[in-house]
């Protein structure tokens, strides 16, 4: 291993799991930052490892050795972006938790840089990239459901919750130019938990 | 314009709107086929115009001149793939039409080559690519709803239908490795049109 020293300085705090201040952590931070910036600036040109390496100020061979391909690299960046660091709402009710969770997701996926990262990672990362874009959402939603069960409430299954809440949010963000409005996200929860406000088929 | 003759022969019938047998139509067919093959073979390498041109047996300048970028090219291929050519079911009932439509979508999106094209197009095509992956689904679903209204039946809104049926199908295909089972697709319709089989929150 003979990575060149990053031309740019270390980018903020080193990621968890790396030795703080180590050269490896600095390279990782510089490369991740370069990927995030290039994806956000997306000009329609393909993201390549030489371009990322030049922007990060490291040798391309270092990037190839550590990540192997653009798909692996994007998956790693997406995993960092979408795993951990999110607070799971605990409002005391399933409805409250899901409304808060959906509103947070809607806000997050409305960010153009986040959306660009999701699309780029789906484009190059295959199954691994797709999983990376999910982060730990399933575990987070499972935790919300478990709390409701502990309170003695009925809950939808995790798969039903995913179909009814997570899927429309990701779909609308990734496939359409419709806004991810908070009121719309709340409607998704109302359809999923209809006891308070029954939804006829022609509900809007 | 001085495109080289395609090294490969013309790929099947020329697309609608092109002069049958014209050189332009042959170039388009060869380039589209090259893109579909390269996306299906996806090795994790970036799809670039020179690579597509070499595979199609045309000059890269021809591809740049006609499509401009990989994103434009993928969007064009996805539009061809997902627009027209699908028969909208007409079973005589909203439930029957939607079950058939959802089963068709599930089968289509279960094809690995189709999925690879969707992911690649999302990755490079921006808003235009995202729209291309939808093809004319909104018009098709609107037609199904209009027929039900003409029969005097109540219908969900097109947006509700999209959230409840289209979104989970695309989401499960693109973001997860879960199977797009026909029974699951039928469950989505049952949740959307609950009059026959009411769905409590804890439905499975």
Assign 3-class secondary structure to chain A. Answer: CCCCCCCCCCCCCCCCCCCCCCHHHHHHHHHHHHHHHHHHCCCCCCCCHHHHHHHHCCCHHHHHHHHCCHHHHHHHHHHHHHCCCCCCCCCCCHHHHHHHHHHHHHHHHCCHHHHHHHHHHHHHHHHHHHHHHHCCHHHHHHHHHHHHHHCCCCCCCHHHHHHHHHHHHHHHHHHCCCCCCHHHHHHHHHHHCCCCCCCCCCCC
Identify the CA nearest to A86 among candidates A106, A101, A75. Answer: A101
The domains found in chain A, sorted by start residue, are: 1-68 (1.10.10.60), 87-192 (1.10.357.10)
A200 to chain B: which residues are within 8 Å by CB?
154
Predicted local confidence at residue B45, as pLDDT? 61
Instruction: Name the pLDDT band for A203 (thresholds 50, 70, 90).
Output: very low
Q: What is the pLDDT of residue A201?
A: 53
More confident residue, B19 or A46: A46
> B81 in helix, strand or coil?
helix
Residue of higher predicted confidence among B11 and B172: B172
The Cα–Cα gap between B154 and B9 comes to: 52
Are B192 and A172 an interchain contact pair (Cβ–Cβ within 8 Å)?
Answer: no
Neighbour count for residue B150 (Cβ, 10 Å): 8
pLDDT category at B160 given cuts 50, 70, 90 is: very high
Tens digits of per-residue pLDDT, A106-141? 999 999 999 999 999 998 878 889 999 998 999 999
In terms of CA atoms, which chain B residue is nearest residue A177?
A: B127
Answer whether B123 touches A (CB < 8 Å): yes
A53: distance to nearest CA of chain B, Å?
15
> Is the pLDDT confidence value at B4 over 90?
no
Where does the pLDDT of residue B106 fall: very low under 50, low under 70, confident under 90, or very high at 90 and above? Answer: very high
CB–CB of B195/A201 below 8 Å? Answer: yes
Number of CB atoms found within 10 A of residue A64's CB:
15
Q: Which residue of A has its CA nearest to B194?
A: A201
| Mean of per-residue pLDDT scores for chain A | 85
Average pLDDT over residues A175-201: 83
Q: What's the mean pLDDT when you consider all of chain B?
A: 85
ipTM of the complex: 0.83
Mutate to test the interface with B, among A95, A133, A163, A192 (most CBs of B within 10 A): A163
The pLDDT value given to residue B6: 39
Confidence at residue A163, expressed as pLDDT on a 0 to 100 scale: 97
What is the pLDDT averaged over residues B42-66? 87
The band of A14, judged by pLDDT with boundaries at 50, 70 and 90, is very low
Tell me what pLDDT residue A84 has: 77
pLDDT at A127: 86
Q: With pLDDT > 70 as the criterion, what percentage of chain B qualifies?
A: 82
Label residue B13 exposed, middle or buried (CB < 10 Å: 0-12, 13-18, 19+).
exposed
Q: Is the pLDDT higher at B93 or at B135?
A: B93
In the three-class reduction of DSSP (H, G, I as helix; E, B as strand; rest coil), residue B11 is classed as coil
Mutation target to probe the A interface, by most A beta carbons within 10 A, among B43, B45, B46 is B46
Tokens standing for residue A169: 């949010």
User: Is pLDDT at B153 greater than 70 in this prediction?
Assistant: yes
Contact call for residues A147 and A91 (beta carbons, < 8 A): no
Confidence of residue B22 (pLDDT cuts 50, 70, 90): confident
- Residue A2's pLDDT band (boundaries 50, 70, 90)? very low
pLDDT of residue A204: 44
């Amino acid at each position: 291993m003979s990575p060149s020293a990053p031309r740019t300085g270390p980018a903020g705090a080193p990621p968890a799991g790396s030795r703080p201040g180590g050269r490896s952590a600095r390279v990782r931070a510089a490369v991740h930052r370069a990927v995030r910036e290039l994806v956000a600036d997306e000009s329609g040109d393909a993201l390549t490892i030489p371009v990322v390496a030049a922007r990060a100020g490291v040798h391309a061979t270092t990037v190839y050795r550590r990540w192997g391909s653009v798909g692996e690299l994007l998956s790693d960046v997406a995993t960092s972006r979408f795993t951990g660091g999110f607070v799971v709402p605990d409002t005391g009710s399933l409805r409250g938790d899901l409304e808060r969770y959906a509103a947070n997701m809607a806000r997050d996926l409305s960010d153009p840089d986040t959306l660009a990262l999701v699309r780029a990672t789906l484009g190059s990362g295959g199954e691994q990239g797709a999983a990376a874009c999910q982060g730990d959402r399933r575990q987070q939603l499972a935790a919300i459901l478990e709390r409701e069960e502990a309170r003695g409430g009925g809950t939808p299954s995790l798969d039903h919750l995913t179909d009814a809440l997570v899927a429309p949010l990701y779909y609308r963000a990734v496939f359409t130019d419709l806004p991810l409005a908070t009121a719309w996200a709340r409607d998704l929860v109302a359809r999923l938990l209809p006891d308070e406000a029954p939804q006829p088929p022609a509900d809007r």
